[in-house]
Amino acid sequence: MRNRMKKNCIVWTLLLPLLVGCGSKTGGQEEAPAPLMLTDSLQKVVSVETVHEMPLSNELLLNGRVGFNPEQLARVYPIFGGNITEVNVEMGDYVKKGDILAIIHSSEVADYEKQRKEARQQIILADRNLEATRDMFNSGMASERDVLQAEQEAVNVRAEQKRIDEVYAIYHITGNSTYEIQSPVSGFVIGKNVSRNMQIRSDQTEELFTISGLDNVWVMADVYESDISRVGEGAAVRITTLAYRDREFTGTVDKVYNMLDSESKTMSIRVKLKNEDYLLKPGMFTNVYVQTDADGKVMPRVEARAVIFENGRHFVVGIGSDNVLQPREVTVFKQTDKYCFLETGLKEGDRIIDRNALLVYNALK
């Protein structure tokens, strides 16, 4: 309220000198009132809208809710059973790809450590055997087949070593019979089913963590059976929330689920939205306004706040080609909470005052 009063004072401060000038006299004769102009200083507190003809539309109000984008969802399961020694994140934390979520002490990891040591020892033995076989071949004490067999054994033990090294890299085994649970994607922790000292099994079906990015979210809305024919893919929508009353999110219907819920008798539609600054939180309830065309009619459309109602008539503040401001009467054909479709008074390309139009209109009077 204080900010609104401050803005109003600014507008009147800019308009007052012009109004005072309109009543001045020179030589005892009354001059014609000077017209009110759209000056640079006035443009700082008002906004100018260019009128465009748009298809006449109706708005269908639907109840919606914000949900995760499953395409950005990652569920993290245990690879080996064991005891959780560390948990490094909580619900709602933001994590980057590769961040350590938990550390697990596992006897199954100890088996891989044993296999790794054995593989390294086998490589040493295979190399020694190959070297001795080659020496014997050069002395005529071994055949070429013996050399090929020794070379194959050396290749096999190195392949086993490589397999075990890849297991270490893929499952983030760190030694000392432990391995790390790392985040596979960047995002927020939206599910956590572990705690320190908890025992887990490698075959458990419940995920340890669920990570989801919130750069994009889905808004799902329910359409009643009587309105199904009015909604289609590609329809423009605007979305409002209780959390941000003065902000709208816009998008289009990108998917219509052509099935009715057996209990609610509603059909779902989906809107994908970019979630700048993570303003939209999964679970939020929304109002989804779907734009539906009405008989293909085209009319001039302006912001509803630009239209002033007085004594049963509607006016806008028009801007002439010479930047002179003047009230213009219009006929409103249809009004929503955001737009007015005008039957008469304006045409494509006309310019009007949008923001703070009422204050300018009162000044013109």
Query: How confident is the model at residue 12, as a pLDDT?
Result: 53
Contact 252, 271 (CB under 8 A): yes
- What Cα–Cα distance (Å) separates residue 237 from each residue in 3, 164, 175, 282? 30, 54, 54, 19
Q: How many CA atoms lie within 13 A of 273 on its CB side?
A: 29
For residue 361, the one-letter residue type is Y
Using CA atoms, how far apart are residues 50 and 37, in angstroms rounded to an integer?
Answer: 17
Query: How confident is the model at residue 23, as a pLDDT?
Result: 44
Structure-token match 């204080």, residue found: 2
Query: How confident is the model at residue 22, as a pLDDT?
Result: 45
Query: How confident is the model at residue 28, as a pLDDT?
Result: 47
Exposed, middle or buried: residue 62 (CB in 10 Å: 0-12, 13-18, 19+)? buried
Q: What are phi and psi of 166, to 5 degrees?
A: -65, -35
Query: How confident is the model at residue 170, as a pLDDT?
Result: 83
Query: How confident is the model at residue 20, as a pLDDT?
Result: 44
Per-residue pLDDT 10s for the chain (365 aa) are: 455 555 555 555 555 554 444 444 444 455 556 778 888 888 888 889 999 998 777 778 899 999 988 888 899 998 888 999 999 999 989 999 999 999 999 888 888 888 889 999 999 999 999 999 999 989 888 898 998 999 999 999 999 999 988 888 888 888 788 889 999 988 899 999 999 999 988 888 889 999 998 889 999 999 998 889 888 899 989 999 999 988 889 999 999 999 998 888 899 999 999 998 889 999 999 999 998 866 667 889 999 999 999 988 999 999 988 889 999 999 998 887 788 889 999 999 999 999 889 988 988 87
Residues 207-225, buried b or exposed e (16+ Cβ, 10 A)? bbbbbbbbeebbbbbbbee
Beta bridge partners of 126: none
